[in-house]
Amino acid sequence: MTFPISRQGLEQIAIVLAVGAALFAIFAVVSWRRGRDWRRFAQSAGFIGALILVDLGLAYTVAPNIPTPPVPFFVRFLQNPTPNDPATVAAGRALYQANCAICHGPKGLGDGPAAFTLQPRPFNLQVHVPQHAPGELFYWISEGVVSTPMPACTPGSSR
């Protein structure tokens, strides 16, 4: 099982927290200049600063740095040609359970029965999939992922 958010996601959270800390620091300075109580704003800025340190600490120690396997440039712009209806979802679920769950696990967490024997370990799809375009996902599934045990799975193949 991997940490539920990627390094890039934690970096984005740190940026948002930094903006919040900067705003509270600005409010503290403005309040101090006007002779008002500024301590609450300063405490808030400090607390958010501590959250930033924790966030970045997690980002660079525990969170996975998920490298993006390369794809041809045009692939990123491909759209999913299958309709989003219950029949297609059911067919996709059956294909996933038959071909993918052994490595990626029943819920896509990268914790399938074969996952612990593979190097590198399978990606946590719940973290990885939302970060990519449909064309990239199609390419990796149909062509496999270079330097990993992920095989190519094309329509009509036995795998």
pLDDT digits (tens, 9 = 90+) for 71-103: 888 988 998 888 889 999 999 999 999 999 999
Look at residue 121 in the predicted model and tell me its pLDDT: 84
Q: What are the tokens at 82?
A: 């299958």
- The model's pLDDT over 10-53, given as tens digits with 9 standing for 90+, comes to 788 888 888 888 888 998 898 888 888 888 888 988 999 899 88
Q: What number of helices (H) and strands (E) belong to the chain?
A: 6, 0
For the stretch 117-133, pLDDT in tens is 988 888 889 888 888 88
Which two structure tokens, joined as six digits, stand for 152?
């190519």
- Would you say residue 62 has pLDDT above 80? no
DSSP letters for 6-72: -HHHHHHHHHHHHHHHHHHHHHHHHHHHTTS--HHHHHHHHHHHHHHHHHHHHHHHTS---------
| Rounded-to-integer distance, Cα 123 and Cα 144, Å | 13
